[in-house]
Amino acid sequence: MGAQTFTTYAEGTDVDAAFREAIEQAQYEYGHAGVTGTLAEKDEYVVIAGGPLSPSDADTLADKLIRGNDSRIDDKWGPAGAIAVHGGFRTLTGLPVPSHAGGYPDQKTAALAAVESLLGDGETITRSHLDRYRLRRGGIEVDEHTTATVTTTGSPEVTGWLFFGWANS
């Protein structure tokens, strides 16, 4: 029996839950035969970089560790490597929208005011919603009870895990 390398990504901030989900997906896609050459063959992992790293940096690190036969992940019977990844989507809810003299031109601008200090480098708003506001000529007005729900992309927070290594094939 041989061995081959694999890499697979799973969404989620909790590494245990992401690992279980990724194994289930691999078993669904490749079966339970015990020689799939995928994450389906693994029952444990070792966190290599708590990071989080960008998806491309995580791929680069995983490739480097596989090619370099890193002792933590080079055994087809041993653990998979796990690298925390950032950059996916995240949703922030219940953000207070600061009042602004003259109001805001639109909902996205008001939501940006609510989330501005929470955005990481390169993170952008992809969707926003205000729970309360009043339309006025040329824009919207908020009060002290207005909150925003914002979905962003490019999050600096952990959004998933890259699992990688050698597996029985």
* Alpha-carbon gap, residue 17 to 5, rounded angstroms: 22
Residue 39 structural domain: 3-87+157-168
Task: State pLDDT tens for residues 42-85.
Answer: 999 999 976 799 888 999 999 999 999 999 999 999 999 999 99
Which pLDDT value is given to residue 57? Answer: 92
Residue 32 has pLDDT above 90, yes or no: no
My answer on whether 60 and 131 are in the same domain is: no
My answer on whether 96 and 76 are in the same domain is: no
- According to DSSP, the residues that pair with 150 across neighbouring strands are 92, 128
My answer on whether 81 and 104 are in the same domain is: no
DSSP assignment letter at 21: H
Residue 34 has pLDDT above 80, yes or no: no
**Cis peptide before 96, with omega less than 30 degrees from 0?**
no
* Run of H or E including 56: helix 55-67
Tell me the three state secondary structure of residue 5. Answer: strand
Residue 155's identity, in one-letter code, is: S
Task: State pLDDT tens for residues 91-120.
Answer: 889 999 999 888 999 999 999 999 998 988
Percent of the chain having pLDDT more than 90?
58
